[in-house]
Structure 1
Amino acid sequence: MYEPIRTRSVHSTMAGSTSDFPHRSREEELDIQLAGHLTALLAVTDELRALGSSTDLDTAADRLAEQVARLRGGPTPVRVLVTAARPEPHPAALHRRAHTLAGRALVVAASRADTAVAILTAERMDAHAATLEPRELASS
């Protein structure tokens, strides 16, 4: 009535059997995710540097590139110089975007217990928050 199955299943149903497709560990997945967030933060940092370079942004970009290279296990990421800025400078929007990206990277860094990246991203969050909301000194 039914035709018997003549080929092996493509799905591994037996416990302990290995499959032909690669599996990544949780740590590898977190490394990939964290490298992606840091790369996006690096791109925004480079765009901010194109609008007005500062030593803080230069140092942060170098540190971000080092961490991305470490996470990817290879050379530093390719960085494109942003020479053609948009007609209207939009630094506030870029700082908000960088703050958000740093926050996302901080969450992933905390979940994988990467202290170096957690410190770096927390510093970047503080720097972008300070730029967005300048703190006035209270005169006493």
Structure 2
Amino acid sequence: MYEPIRTKSVHSTMTGTPSDFPHRSREEELDIQLAGHLAALLAVTDELRATVPSAELDAAARRLADQVARLRGGSAPARLSATVPGSDPAALHQRAQALAGRALVVAASRADTAAAILSAERIDAHTAALRPHALAAR
């Protein structure tokens, strides 16, 4: 029914067999994933700041940048410097809310309290920002 595999696997499955590709621990993988989610959330937050400036978004962006730098070993994240024409604040808040949710899941599985608290706060903030849009749509 299936054709047998005729080549050796590129992944070594035998104990003690040296491997020629780098391995990362689960914690390192979660750090990378969490930093990615927080960096994406930072990008959306920067876009929101350019569209609808606020001191609360400025503070959130600073905290997000600090967390990304911490997870990346001190490397500062890239920041958005210009606004995207025609950005819809409601759509940006929805995207930020989803990204914060993903970050919260990874932070919880990594047991990173600081990132989990920040992610939960961002979910709450974006949910609150979406309420007026939801009432206007009715």
Task: Give the TM bin, normalised by the shorter chain.
Answer: 0.7 to 0.9
Q: Which has the higher helix share?
A: 2
- TM-score under structure 2 length normalisation: 0.83
Distance 2:89 2:10 in 1: 52
Distance 2:36 2:25 in 1: 17
Q: Deviations over 1:14-67 (max 9, x none)?
A: 312331211011001111111110011000000000012111100000100011
- Aligned partner (choices 129, 132, 138) of residue 131 of structure 1: 129
Distance 1:10 1:44 in 2: 38
- Aligned-residue Cα RMSD (Å) equals 1.8
Secondary structure in 2 matching 1:133? helix
In 2 relative to 1, CA 95–13 (structure 1 residues): closer, same or farther, beyond 3 Å?
closer
Distance 1:104 1:69 in 2: 18
Whose Rg is larger?
1
Aligned to 2:22: 22
C-alpha contact (below 8 Å) 2:42/2:61 kept by paired residues? yes
Please show how residues 35-74 of structure 1 align to structure 2 within 5 Å. 35-74=35-74
- TM-score under structure 1 length normalisation: 0.82
Secondary structure in 1 matching 2:42? helix
Secondary structure in 2 matching 1:126? helix
Distance 1:65 1:86 in 2: 24
- Aligned residue pairs total 125
Structure 1: stretches of 5+ with no match in the other structure: 1-8, 135-140
Structure 2: stretches of 5+ with no match in the other structure: 1-8, 133-138
C-alpha contact (below 8 Å) 2:52/2:89 kept by paired residues? no
Distance 1:119 1:13 in 2: 39
Distance 2:110 2:14 in 1: 31
Confirm whether residue 115 of structure 1 aligns to residue 113 of structure 2. yes
C-alpha contact (below 8 Å) 2:47/2:80 kept by paired residues? no
Q: Which amino acid aligns with 1:73?
A: G
